[in-house]
Chain A
Amino acid sequence: MKMLKKNDLILVGIILLLCIGFFAYRKMTEAPGSRVEVMMNGKLYDTLTLQEDTVYTVKGDNGSYNTFKITDGVVDMIDASCPDKLCVNQAGIHHNHETIVCLPNKVILEVVGAEEGEVDIIAN
Chain B
Amino acid sequence: MEKKKINRITTYGLLVALAFILSYIENLIPIPVPIPGIKLGMANLVVITALYSLGIKEALSLSILRIILVSFTYGSPSTMLFSLAGGLLSWGIMALFKNGKLFSFVGVSILGGIFHNVGQILTAVFVVENINIVYYLPFLLISGVFTGALIGILGAMILKRLKHLYQ
Q: Which residues of A contact B (CB under 8 A)?
A: 1-5, 7-8, 11-12, 15-16, 18-19, 22-23, 26, 39, 41-42, 83-84, 86-87, 90, 93, 97-104, 106, 108, 110
- With A18-B141, A42-B128 known as contacts, the answer to whether A101 contacts B34 (CB < 8 A) is yes
Task: Determine how close the nearest CB of chain A comes to the CB of B109; give it in whole angstroms.
Answer: 9
Residue numbers in B under 8 Å from A11 (CB-CB): 103, 107, 110-111
Task: Determine how close the nearest CB of chain B comes to the CB of A78; give it in whole angstroms.
Answer: 15
Q: Is B18 in contact with chain A by the CB < 8 A criterion?
A: no
Can you list 11 contacts pairing A with B, beta carbon distance less than 8 Å? Answer: A7-B107, A8-B106, A12-B149, A41-B129, A84-B76, A99-B132, A101-B36, A101-B133, A102-B36, A103-B37, A103-B128
Let me know if B76 and A42 touch, CB within 8 A. Answer: no
Residue numbers in A under 8 Å from B156 (CB-CB): 1
Q: Is B3 in contact with chain A by the CB < 8 A criterion?
A: no
Query: Can you name the residue of chain B whose Cβ is closest to the Cβ of A12?
Result: B145
Let me know if A99 and B133 touch, CB within 8 A. Answer: yes
Let me know if A4 and B107 touch, CB within 8 A. Answer: yes
Q: Is B105 in contact with chain A by the CB < 8 A criterion?
A: yes
Let me know if A108 and B78 touch, CB within 8 A. Answer: no
CA separation between A83 and B105, bound complex, in Å? 40
CA separation between A29 and B32, bound complex, in Å? 19
Q: Does more than half of chain B's interface fall in helix, strand or loop, or is it mixed?
A: helix
- With A11-B110, A22-B138, A104-B76 known as contacts, the answer to whether A1 contacts B105 (CB < 8 A) is yes
Let me know if B35 and A39 touch, CB within 8 A. Answer: no
Let me know if A1 and B160 touch, CB within 8 A. Answer: yes
- With A4-B104, A5-B103, A16-B142 known as contacts, the answer to whether A97 contacts B110 (CB < 8 A) is no
Contact of A97 among B135, B137, B142 (CB under 8 A): B135
Task: Determine how close the nearest CB of chain B comes to the CB of A11; give it in whole angstroms.
Answer: 6
Let me know if A5 and B104 touch, CB within 8 A. Answer: yes
Residue numbers in A under 8 Å from B104 (CB-CB): 2-5, 8
Residue numbers in B under 8 Å from A84 (CB-CB): 36, 76, 79
Let me know if A15 and B114 touch, CB within 8 A. Answer: yes
Task: Determine how close the nearest CB of chain A comes to the CB of B150; give it in whole angstroms.
Answer: 13
Let me know if A100 and B34 touch, CB within 8 A. Answer: yes
Q: Is B167 in contact with chain A by the CB < 8 A criterion?
A: no
- With A5-B104, A19-B138 known as contacts, the answer to whether A108 contacts B36 (CB < 8 A) is no
